[in-house]
Amino acid sequence: MKTPRTIVVGITGGIAAYKAVNVVRAFVLNGDSVHVVATTAALRFVGKPTLEAISRNPVHTDLYEGVAEVRHVSIGQGADLIVVAPATANTIAKLAAGLADDLLGNTILASTAPLVIAPAMHTEMWNNPATVANVAVLRSRGITVVGPGIGRLTGTDSGAGRMEEPETIVAVALAVLDRQPSAGEAAASAVQDLAGRHVLISAGGTREPLDPVRFLGNRSSGKQGVALAQAALARGATVTLVAANLEVAVPTSVTTVLVSSALEMHEAMTLAAETAEVIIMAAAVADYRPKTVQLGKIKKEDVGDTLTLELVKNPDILAALSAARRPGQQIIGFAAETETDADRLLVLGRDKIIRKGCDYLVVNRVGHASGETVGFGTERNAVTVLDRHGVIVNEVSGSKMSVANCILDVIG
């Protein structure tokens, strides 16, 4: 059984505070111990009883309560991680200046735990030079800023400033927590090791149309690609996700390009690759597509007992991107294989990295094994990362988030 970690969730006064309830709930369901520190303004948007019931702990707001137990420093000192969601423009300004005029400010200043903030505000406030400068200061201190996304805001307007979805905030925060160096390891600067880098990730499975209603597809859910996007966000990267038919929600603070077929993915990846420093081809791309796409639905009355499909080869996106790679650009491919023998799986991987010409190849086994589906669509994964010489540089089995971090660890 894992030891529960202590997570302090700071909630500040924005309308997105109502969504912070789901952030608190997700940490609790993950088995962590959650303490909410809400500002007075936050409690105008969401009730204390709700937060206490969901967090299963008292909610603190007042700097002058619990003085005998020195609460203004004890909460921060006991935290393994602090997450502020939503973080208003005002709170961000106070954090940048190091102000401690309320319990949350004191808690943060008194803590050495990693800090993750999820900004939420109107677009004009997010773009205001004061906020831009404050966010830059926070990032430079190694604070993880998740979001904001672009989308519908409180009124009828939409734009940048919408709080990232609770699911993503929690995934990013847990990724930050899991990557904390243990005592004796180098300082926490490693946490933001992808700051300022553009990471391009393909995820999901392509669908190759046969007619207006049918396609040839595969079982990829996109979970591993989305976990890579979340892990890269947590490490400070700017992320573009080329998403093919995902079964999971996409973080709103990544730039998402929706595609369906291999040809569409090829076009989107080629365009985004122009500015990407790191490319990860996690998508399951169909090797072949129907030669012709029928304009009308294929009818069995017209076809008879046997339908023969003629397929043509799709472009190999990974091989093409690798061949056109700019100096310094790093490219990671995947090899999802049904081979059950570990040694033969490695041989397949070593052959593949030569054919594809990428820098690293993530080899994993997929398919059905004794009634269990492995790799595709599952919550866990087990991979071996090979370098271009076929040497094993990393190996991990665990959640798709821990696999994602193991993959990102190899990027120099």
Closest to 340 measured CA to CA, from 364, 372, 371: 364
Please give the span between the terminal C-alpha atoms of the chain, in angstroms, as a whole number: 34
Q: How far is the CB of 397 from ligand C5P (least distance, A)?
A: 19
Of 163 and 283, the one with the shorter C-beta distance to ligand C5P is 283
d(CA 412, CA 398): 23
- The residues in 328-347 that bind ligand C5P, with binding defined as CB under 6 A, are 333-335
Pick one of 134, 314, 364, 381: the residue that binds ligand C5P (CB under 6 A): 314
Size of the site for ligand C5P (CB under 6 A): 12
Greatest Cα pair distance in the chain: 84
Q: Which of residues 160-219 bind ligand C5P (CB under 6 A)?
A: none
Which residue, 9 or 345, has its beta carbon nearer to ligand C5P? 345
Q: Pairing relation of β-strands 311-313 and 215-216?
A: unpaired
Helices (H), 282-388: 300-303, 317-323, 342-356
Q: Within 273-381, where are the H helices?
A: 300-303, 317-323, 342-356
* For ligand C5P, the closer CB: 102 or 316: 316
Number of neighbouring beta carbons within 10 Å of residue 293: 14
Q: Which is nearer to ligand C5P, 169 or 285 (CB)?
A: 285
Does residue 287 interact with ligand C5P by CB under 6 A? Answer: yes
Residues 242-271 that bind ligand C5P (CB under 6 A): 262
Least CB distance from residue 356 to ligand C5P, whole Å?
Answer: 6
Establish if 124 lies at the interface with ligand C5P (CB under 6 A): no
Q: Which stretch binds ligand C5P (CB under 6 A): 118-126, 207-215, 315-323, 404-412?
A: 315-323
Least Å distance between CB 366 and ligand C5P?
A: 10
**Options 103-111, 191-199, 310-318, 323-331: segment touching ligand C5P (CB under 6 A):** 310-318
Q: How far is the CB of 308 from ligand C5P (least distance, A)?
A: 22
Residue 366 binds ligand C5P (CB under 6 A): no
Q: How far is the CB of 70 from ligand C5P (least distance, A)?
A: 53
Nearer to ligand C5P, 146 or 279 (CB): 279
Nearest to 11 by CA among 48, 53, 66, 56: 48
Residues contacting residue 131 through CB under 8 Å, at least 6 positions apart: 89, 92, 93, 121, 125
What residue ranges in 166-254 does DSSP mark as E strands? 198-204, 208-209, 215-216, 238-244
> Checking DSSP bridges between strand 372-374 and strand 380-387, what pairing results, if any?
unpaired
Smallest distance, ligand C5P to C-beta of residue 227, A = 15
Interface residue with ligand C5P, options 174, 281, 363, 408 (CB under 6 A): 281
> Closer CB to ligand C5P, residue 71 or residue 289?
289
Residue type, 276: A
Q: With DSSP H G I counted as helix, E B as strand and the rest as coil, what are the percentages for the chain, rounded to 5?
A: 35, 25, 40
245 included as an active-site residue: no
Long-range contacts from 122-127, C-beta under 8 angstroms, 24+ separation: 122/153, 122/154, 122/157, 122/159, 122/161, 123/153, 123/157, 123/159, 123/160, 123/161, 125/89, 125/161, 126/89, 126/160, 126/161, 127/160
Residue 110's nearest CA partner among 124, 100, 96, 125 is 100
Which of the 8 DSSP states describes residue 205?
A: B
Residue 359 touches ligand C5P, criterion: CB under 6 A: no
Pick between residue 163 and residue 321 the one whose CB is nearest to ligand C5P. Answer: 321
Q: Shortest distance, CB of residue 73 to ligand C5P, whole angstroms?
A: 49
Q: Does 318 bind ligand C5P (CB under 6 A)?
A: yes
Structure tokens belonging to residue 206: 């392509």
Q: Which of 218, 245, 364, 405 is catalytic?
A: 218
Alpha-carbon gap, residue 298 to 304, rounded angstroms: 11
Pairwise CA distance, residues 312 & 309, whole Å: 10
Of 146 and 358, the one with the shorter C-beta distance to ligand C5P is 358
Closest contact distance (angstroms) between CB of 314 and ligand C5P is: 4
Residue 69 in contact with ligand C5P, rule: CB under 6 A: no
Q: Does 134 contact ligand C5P by CB under 6 A?
A: no
Q: Which residues belong to the active site?
A: 218
- Where along the sequence are the contacts to ligand C5P (CB under 6 A)? 262, 281, 283, 285, 287, 314, 316-318, 333-335
